[in-house]
Homo-oligomer: A and B are copies of this chain.
C-alpha cells in the first residue's frame, strides 16, 4: 500500500515538474519556441518519451496549465467576493492578487496577461469567456447598479480598469519598470479606480 502510494505520488510529482518547467519556458520563449525536448530537459528527464507517460501531447501540457491557472484564479476570486460586498473592495482584492502574483509567480502572470492563448489552445475558451473573467464583469455590473461605478458598458469599464492594471504589470514583467510590482500598487490602483468610479 505504502509503495503504491509512493509510486502514485512520484508520478504526480513528475507531472508537476513537467508543468512547472513548461510554464517557465512558455513564459520565457513562447509556446512555439519551446520544444518537447526543452521541456523534458528542464523537467530533469532525459527524453521526450517519458513526457508522453504523463501527457497525451504537447498541447495537453498547455491545456493543463490553462485549467490549473484559471481554476486557481477562479477560487481566489470566489474568496475575494465572499470577503467583501462593495465592488470597489472586491476589485481592490483582485488587484492585490494580480500584483502579488506578478512578484511571486511572474510566470503565471505572463501566462495570463501576455501569452496569446488562443494561438496554441484554439479549442479552449477565450479568456473573456472564462469563469473568473465573467465574475469580474459581474462585479463591475454590481458596482454600476450600486452607483459606485460609471454607468457605461461593463466591458468598456473592464477595458479601462484592467487596461491600466495589466499594462503596468506588463512593464514590470518585461523589466521596463525596475522595481517590484508592489512598489506601484497604491498609485496604480488609485488611477485605475478613479478611471471607472462615479464621481
What residues of chain A have their CB less than 8 Å away from a CB belonging to chain B? 29-30, 32-33, 114-116, 119, 126, 128, 152-153, 155-156, 159-160, 162-168, 170-171, 174, 176-177, 184, 187-188, 191, 194-195
Whether B152 and A187, one on each chain, are in contact in the complex, defined by CB atoms closer than 8 angstroms, is: yes
Q: Which residues of B contact A30 (CB under 8 A)?
A: 116, 119
With A126-B174, A152-B187, A163-B168 already in contact, 16 other A-B pairs whose C-beta atoms are closer than 8 Å:
A32-B119, A33-B119, A116-B116, A153-B177, A159-B164, A159-B167, A159-B168, A159-B170, A159-B171, A160-B168, A160-B188, A162-B167, A163-B166, A164-B164, A194-B194, A195-B195
Whether B128 and A176, one on each chain, are in contact in the complex, defined by CB atoms closer than 8 angstroms, is: yes
Closest CB in chain B relative to A154 CB, distance in Å: 11
Q: Which residues of B contact A168 (CB under 8 A)?
A: 156, 159-160, 163
Closest CB in chain B relative to A30 CB, distance in Å: 4
Q: Which residues of B contact A152 (CB under 8 A)?
A: 187
